[in-house]
Chains A and B, each alone.
Chain A
Amino acid sequence: MCSGLIRISMLNNMAHTLLIPIDFKVESLKSLKLVLNDNTHQKLNVVLVYAEKSSGSITDMLFYSPSKRVSELCSDIFIEALSMIKNRYDSVIGELRIEIFSGTTVGALKNFIDAHRVDEIVSPSNYELEMPSRAFDVRPLFKGVSTPIKNVSWQNQKSLSVHEQLIALFN
């Protein structure tokens, strides 16, 4: 019983890292908001992951920079929404990163999870990630890894205009 208590307090003290798949739409941040809402940990690190196969072209690969690609994909409204969530949970969120996962196999995902020290995966269960061209939905790969998965769901909002996207984060 004693050891159990110690384990819980240790868990609470250590930063807990979450992996959340996104599609750079504001609504995909809803899973982040939901998981932060009923969070019990003191500190959370968040890795937002966008799955995109790397291009086959030599020149593209030569000048490939993940951070540049991320800033290309980030729309103004997405950054705004992210900063809104960050301001709301300022004391809980330790580190918030956006990463691009360019592997296609479970093994690659395992490596990715190890590299970012992910403790838990948050998977939106009824939200359809909008993945154009080389991007793909990473969720099927989650079944192959041993990391605990937390499913979140919310009522989907259909076709929102750019200005209305922010509404998705509320209610």
Chain B
Amino acid sequence: MKIQLKITLFLVATNSLILLLFGGSVYYFLYNYSYSDFFKRLETRATISAKYNFEKDRINTESYKAIRTEHLERLTNEKEYLFPVNQTDPNYAGLSNSLNVSGGFIKEIVKNKKAKLQKDGTFYVGILYTQKENAYIVVVSAENYYATHHLRFLRNILIIGFFLIGFITTYIFIYFSKKIFNPIKKITDRVKEISTENIHLRLEEGTNDSEISLLITTFNDLLNRLETAFEVQKNFISNASHEFGTPLTSIIGEAEVVLRKPRSADEYQQSLQSILTQAERINQITQSLLYLAQTGYNKKNIPLEIIRADELIVQVKALTDNLNPKNNVQLDFSLLPENHEKLKVWGNKQLLYLALSNIVSNACKYSNNQLVNISIASSNNEVILLFTDSGIGIPETELQFIYDPFFRASNTHQFEGYGIGLPLARNIVRMHNGELVVSSEVNKGTTVKIKLPLAKLN
């Protein structure tokens, strides 16, 4: 059973139970009260009637008559029966027959001096009235108009009310449970749409921090991780075998040529050197693959510290100078914020260093060491780093693939590389909750914009 239906049924059942209890108890107590009240009234009447009929004192009799006519209204079908106690008929059969009640009732009157009986909507109260030696039985009967009419009316109102309220609340509960489960249904529908072909789709995140929004964020995180995994996997086999294959082929080729006939020590050294270079290349690829894997998965386990972004790019520039002395990297501090608090970000120094140096070395490589500008500025919540080169650029149609591992744009054949740097950099920036955007124009140059959220220091 669906939870939505369960909740609706549960709420409707509880609500009906409460309504029933309420209506039932109202009816029950009022019913009880009206009956005991009516018996009391009848009893009073019986007493008055006995006094009026059998009292010897005339004055008293007159006053009872006055009370009766002035204060007691006639009840519906009110009847009085007065008769002396007859010792000859111990079962009071004739008497009870004439009264149309059971014999037990008369016996009870004689025994307890009073008795009550209800039969077919008629109420009987009998008392035993003794005066001197004579004993009389006085029975008053009447119909309870209040009970038969007013209570029935009340009962009808309660039943109609019960169904009416029941319908309304059921409708509200159905609506309510639908409303509650709508976002969940939406999530289900959306998640159903997402398959391996369109794993880039994400659930729409809400602005509030309700449980549903939390669920959506969790789902999206999960999808992010899945997408990275898929991306890596999708291109891995073909690209990796190619990337690993090239140096391996040259190692094998080199070794085969050398082993064909005896060589001089010099030649051996030369070919071993060449084999070593190729092996180092394989090693490098493996290393960076390992990095990519790590940054793709272990988002939570990286140690973070406060880093100044300007220091970071100065270090990146120093590293680039070391590795590539012909580079033409310029730092643009013209919009460096005055307040150094606006430069501090939470980050892992090694990883950010790796990401930025990858981008800078790419910029130098693909622009043949032309001018590369690194600009730094900060808005109110973010540090913004801009890397601009005037290199070969990236064709517009290929821009969407540049974050795929091992992808290389069609115009990069003359440059060495294996297409891991940019995805790695993007993974790292994403780990820091930042944003990396590449915009480019063929033969004009490429701009990489990195935004990193500022550390909140209080």
A89 x B338 contact (CB < 8 A): yes
Q: A87-B377, A163-B449, A171-B332 are in contact. Are A80 and B339 (CB under 8 A)?
A: no
**A80 vs B288: C-alpha distance in the bound complex, in angstroms?**
34
A161 at the interface (CB under 8 A from B): yes
Total A-B contacts with CB atoms under 8 angstroms apart: 63
A-contacting residues, B202-235, CB 8 Å: none
Q: A166-B386, A167-B388, A167-B447 are in contact. Are A83 and B338 (CB under 8 A)?
A: no
A-contacting residues, B327-359, CB 8 Å: 332, 334-339, 342
B369 at the interface (CB under 8 A from A): no
Instruction: Please tell me which one of the listed residues A37, A79, A87 contacts residue B342 in the complex, with CB atoms under 8 A apart.
Output: A87
Neighbouring B residues of A83 by C-beta, 8 Å: 378-380
Instruction: Please tell me which one of the listed residues B373, B375, B377, B439 contacts residue A163 in the complex, with CB atoms under 8 A apart.
Output: B439
Q: A164-B447, A171-B373 are in contact. Are A87 and B384 (CB under 8 A)?
A: no
B437 at the interface (CB under 8 A from A): yes
A88 x B388 contact (CB < 8 A): no
Instruction: Please tell me which one of the listed residues B373, B384, B388 contacts residue A84 in the complex, with CB atoms under 8 A apart.
Output: B384
> How many of A's residues come within 8 Å of B, CB to CB?
20
A60 at the interface (CB under 8 A from B): no
B335 x A85 contact (CB < 8 A): yes
A131 at the interface (CB under 8 A from B): no
A-contacting residues, B294-337, CB 8 Å: 332, 334-337
Neighbouring A residues of B335 by C-beta, 8 Å: 33, 84-85, 87-88, 169-170
**A85 vs B449: C-alpha distance in the bound complex, in angstroms?**
17
**A83 vs B342: C-alpha distance in the bound complex, in angstroms?**
11
**A33 vs B332: C-alpha distance in the bound complex, in angstroms?**
14
**A80 vs B454: C-alpha distance in the bound complex, in angstroms?**
14
B338 x A80 contact (CB < 8 A): no
**A161 vs B388: C-alpha distance in the bound complex, in angstroms?**
13
**A84 vs B386: C-alpha distance in the bound complex, in angstroms?**
13
Instruction: Please tell me which one of the listed residues A88, A166, A169 contacts residue B449 in the complex, with CB atoms under 8 A apart.
Output: A166
Q: A33-B335, A90-B339, A171-B373 are in contact. Are A84 and B439 (CB under 8 A)?
A: no
**Chain A min CB distance to B434 (Å):** 14
Neighbouring B residues of A85 by C-beta, 8 Å: 335
A88 x B332 contact (CB < 8 A): no
Neighbouring B residues of A88 by C-beta, 8 Å: 334-338, 377
**A169 vs B447: C-alpha distance in the bound complex, in angstroms?**
14
B-contacting residues, A21-75, CB 8 Å: 33, 37
B337 x A163 contact (CB < 8 A): no
Neighbouring A residues of B337 by C-beta, 8 Å: 84, 87-88, 90
Residue of A nearest to B333 (CB): A88
A91 at the interface (CB under 8 A from B): yes
**A87 vs B337: C-alpha distance in the bound complex, in angstroms?**
5
**Chain A min CB distance to B128 (Å):** 92
Instruction: Please tell me which one of the listed residues A90, A91, A163 contacts residue B447 in the complex, with CB atoms under 8 A apart.
Output: A163
**A171 vs B377: C-alpha distance in the bound complex, in angstroms?**
13
**Chain A min CB distance to B9 (Å):** 49
B439 x A170 contact (CB < 8 A): no
Neighbouring B residues of A164 by C-beta, 8 Å: 439, 447
Neighbouring B residues of A170 by C-beta, 8 Å: 332, 334-335, 373, 375, 386
Neighbouring B residues of A87 by C-beta, 8 Å: 335, 337-339, 342, 377-380
Residue of B nearest to A79 (CB): B379
Interface string of B420-458 (1 = CB under 8 A from A): 000000000000000001010000000101000000000
**Chain A min CB distance to B316 (Å):** 17
A contacts, CB < 8 Å to B: 33, 37, 79-80, 83-85, 87-91, 161, 163-164, 166-167, 169-171
Give me 5 A-to-B residue pairs in the complex whose CB atoms sit less than 8 angstroms apart, sorted by A's number. Answer: A80-B379, A87-B378, A163-B437, A163-B447, A170-B332
Q: Which 8 A-B residue pairs are closest in the complex by CB-CB distance?
A: A87-B337, A84-B377, A83-B379, A170-B375, A163-B439, A90-B338, A88-B335, A80-B379
B contacts, CB < 8 Å to A: 332, 334-339, 342, 373, 375, 377-380, 382, 384, 386, 388, 437, 439, 447, 449
15 more A-B residue pairs beyond the given contacts A88-B338, A88-B377, A170-B334, with a C-beta to C-beta distance below 8 A: A33-B334, A84-B337, A84-B378, A88-B334, A90-B339, A161-B439, A163-B447, A166-B377, A167-B388, A169-B335, A170-B332, A170-B373, A170-B386, A171-B332, A171-B375
